[in-house]
Amino acid sequence: QLQLQESGPGLVKPSETLSLTCTVSGGSISSTYNYWGWIRQPPGKGLEWIGTIYYSGSTYYNPSLRSRVTISIDTSKNQFSLKLSSVTATDTAVYYCARHGGGGGSYFVLGYWGQGTLVTVSS
Amino acid sequence: EIVLTQSPGTLSLSLGERATLSCRASQSLSSSYLAWYQQKPGQSPRLLMYGASSRATGIPDRFSGSGSGTDFTLTISRLEPEDFAVYYCQHYGSSLWTFGQGTKVEIK
């Protein structure tokens, strides 16, 4: 069964770079046609898609975050990562990693989610 | 960029009642790319529906989806205790994935 687990610092200082890793188990991150995404949720608020990486390395970013976001993939470790630069308090959120597809749907849905990790931006 | 607006913000209903949740798009979209998710407190979102009206694997048939163009609906025919949660619609288009702001279904 596919499982995703986010990891990284829970506290980041303003103006620094937030870095998170998602470790995938129960399946290969480089399997053909797989898309892997990052989504965040500020406390008490809704979901915001951050970006997605295709197994081949192609990336797609939310236009509102594009200038600060980098998503990469490490097939040797079965991981993909998120970097968000120049963070402010408004970047405080639970960050989820997810795999597109699953549940019967295709790449246009997010069928597998990690449990999420809270990242707080504060000095 | 398509904006999804969900209504109402909160729906207060009793067990066994019917819940009707709305998702309105700022422009017409393909129903093939409209999905719904359920999120319970402290949990990750779970895929409920895709293609506007297809239930994801393991989703009970009291959940149904409909709609086309700019107006989409998620219906829960008879609310069970485990259905009280927040529901989000989501759209894919032009290599962008967009969520609505959510509707909370709470116990009346």
Closest residue to A105, CB basis, from B1, B50, B99 = B50
For the cut 90, the answer to whether the pLDDT of residue A12 exceeds it is yes
The two beta strands, A11-12 and A117-121, are: parallel
pLDDT tens for each residue of A84-111: 999 999 999 999 999 998 777 899 999 9
Cβ-count burial B19-33 (b if 16+ within 10 Å, e if not): bebbbbbeeebebeb
Closest residue to A47, CB basis, from B1, B88, B95 = B88
What is the number of helices (H) and of strands (E) in chain A?
0, 11
For residue A60, give the chain B residue with the closest CA. B95
Q: What angle do CA B79, B82, B87 make, to 5 degrees?
A: 80
For the cut 90, the answer to whether the pLDDT of residue A113 exceeds it is yes
Beta strands in B2-102 (DSSP E): 4-7, 10-13, 19-29, 34-39, 46-50, 54-55, 63-76, 86-93, 96-99
pLDDT bracket for residue B1 (50, 70, 90): confident
Does the distance separating the beta carbons of B32 and A110 come in below 8 Å? Answer: no
Interface of chain B against chain A, CB under 8 Å?
1, 32-33, 35, 37, 39, 44-47, 50-51, 54-58, 88, 90, 92, 95-102
pLDDT tens for each residue of A26-60: 999 988 778 999 999 999 999 999 999 998 899 99
Closest residue to A46, CB basis, from B1, B56, B99 = B99
Assess contact for A30 and A88: CB atoms under 8 A: no
In A, which residues are within 8 Å of B50 by CB distance?
103-106, 108-109
Closest residue to A49, CB basis, from B47, B55, B97 = B97
Q: In percent, how much of chain B has pLDDT > 90?
A: 98
CB pairs under 8 A between A and B: 72
Q: Rounded to 10 degrees, what is the CA torsion of A69, A73, A78, A79?
A: -10
pLDDT of residue A92: 98
pLDDT tens for each residue of B7-39: 999 999 999 999 999 999 999 999 999 999 999
pLDDT bracket for residue A83 (50, 70, 90): very high
Distance in angstroms (rounded) separating the CA atoms of residues B58 and A19: 34
Does the distance separating the beta carbons of B32 and A105 come in below 8 Å? Answer: no
pLDDT of residue B85: 98
pLDDT tens for each residue of B42-92: 999 999 999 999 999 999 999 999 999 999 999 999 999 999 999 999 999
pLDDT of residue A31: 82
Distance in angstroms (rounded) separating the CA atoms of residues A71 and B91: 21
Cβ count within 10 A of residue A10: 8
Instruction: Read off the pLDDT of each residue in A4-14 and give the average, rounded to a whole number.
Output: 98
Does the distance separating the beta carbons of B51 and A111 come in below 8 Å? Answer: no
pLDDT of residue A36: 96
pLDDT of residue A103: 74
pLDDT of residue A101: 87
For the cut 80, the answer to whether the pLDDT of residue B99 exceeds it is yes
